[in-house]
Structure formats: C-alpha cells, structure tokens
C-alpha cells in the first residue's frame, strides 16, 4: 500500500493532478549516457517536454534530506525496474531535481548514493518555488505529449513501499497500462 500525502509550505500551492508542470530550463547533461537516456543532443538548456518519453517521473530531493538519503536505494531500484520492464523502458524516464542544491551538492548525492539517472541542481530554489515548495522527497508524474506543456497526472510525497508497486501505480495512472 502506498501512503503518500500532499503538503503546502510557506503559503505555496503544491501543483496537483491536471496542472501543467512549469517550464523549467535545465542544463543538457555533459554525461553522454545521461544525454542519450533523455534523448537529448548538443548542449545548452532543455525543458521537461523535450525528454524522449511518454512519462517523466520528477523526483524533488535534497542532499541534506535524511529521508531522501534513506530512500535513494529504493529510487535507484525504481530506475532499474523501469529499465528492465518492456512496458516502461524508453517510455518512462526518471530525473531528480535537487532543491536548494548546488552542482557540487547534486554531484555529491549522485556519487554517494550511486544514482544512475540524471540529477539537476536547483541552487536558488527557483524550480522548487514554482512547484509549490514541496517537502522532499516528492515525486511528480508528468505526461509528455509533443507540442504541448507537460501535464501532471500524479503526485506523491515521501517514501514508497516498493519500487515495483510505485511503478505499477505510475503505469496505471499514466494510462500506459
């Protein structure tokens, strides 16, 4: 059973199902494997709808969040399950955005917890503030449709019971299953 909740911090409204994920400009990864995973080329900036996927799971985390640290192995397992599931591989992608984290802090989290998927810094909380100042870890399930804004179909705060059950919920809520 999944037990996520929603929260509001500092008067910000958390984006919910049916809302559009705000346009955010993230740096195209230097890492060739991450660039390929996201279906990106070149350098510069990209937005979530530019990712080659039907669904993007956006994890909002912080290097300083003990819950994020504890949950990192489970989120890594989620990535592995997605990549080994024929229904999800290539259709569901996973990224992380480090709320209040510098590139150094994001790299430290990536290396310390052996995170295999792309992570991006949000040093000044610009993205975090635009999505409602959510607690961490927080997950957005975002549907990608070419030429349209990314639409949120799922939100989840906190620890999930198992990576398998979380992926099943994502597949069901997104309509991929």
CATH number of the domain residue 106 falls in: 3.40.30.10
From the list 74, 57, 63, 47, the residue with the least C-alpha distance to 106 is 63
In DSSP notation, 113-139 reads TT--S-EEEETTSHHHHHTT---SSEE
- Report if residue 2 sits inside a domain: no
Q: Are 152 and 67 in contact (CB under 8 A)?
A: no
- Report if residue 127 sits inside a domain: no
- Report if residue 27 sits inside a domain: no
Tokens standing for residue 118: 């792309």
Residue 73 phi, psi dihedral angles, 5° rounding = -60, -35
Give the pLDDT confidence score for residue 9 in this predicted structure.
41
Give the pLDDT confidence score for residue 3 in this predicted structure.
37
Give the pLDDT confidence score for residue 14 in this predicted structure.
87
Give the pLDDT confidence score for residue 72 in this predicted structure.
98
Say which residues have a Cβ less than 8 Å from residue 50's Cβ, sequence separation at least 6. Answer: 38, 40
- Report if residue 22 sits inside a domain: no
**Total count of domains within the chain:** 1
Give the pLDDT confidence score for residue 177 in this predicted structure.
86
Residues of the chain with pLDDT under 70: 1-12
Tokens standing for residue 53: 């996927």
pTM score: 0.92
- Report if residue 6 sits inside a domain: no
- Report if residue 16 sits inside a domain: no
Cis peptide before 111 (omega within 30 of 0): no
* Domain extent for 73: 46-121+132-174
- Report if residue 1 sits inside a domain: no
- Report if residue 15 sits inside a domain: no
């Amino acid at each position: 059973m999944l037990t996520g909740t929603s929260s509001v911090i500092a008067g910000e409204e958390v984006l919910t199902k049916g809302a559009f994920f705000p346009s955010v400009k993230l740096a195209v990864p230097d890492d060739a494997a991450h660039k390929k995973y996201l279906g990106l080329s070149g350098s510069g900036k990209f937005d979530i709808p530019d990712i080659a996927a039907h669904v993007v799971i956006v994890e909002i985390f912080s290097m300083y969040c003990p819950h994020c640290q504890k949950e990192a192995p489970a989120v890594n397992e989620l990535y592995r399950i997605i990549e080994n599931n024929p229904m999800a591989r290539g259709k569901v992608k996973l990224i992380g955005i480090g709320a209040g984290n510098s590139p150094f802090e994001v790299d430290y989290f990536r290396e310390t917890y052996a995170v295999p998927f792309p992570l991006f810094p949000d040093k000044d909380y610009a993205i975090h503030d635009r999505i409602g100042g959510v607690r961490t870890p927080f997950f957005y399930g975002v549907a990608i449709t070419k030429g349209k804004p990314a639409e949120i179909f799922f939100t989840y705060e906190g620890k999930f019971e198992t990576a398998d059950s979380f992926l099943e919920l994502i597949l069901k809520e997104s309509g991929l299953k």
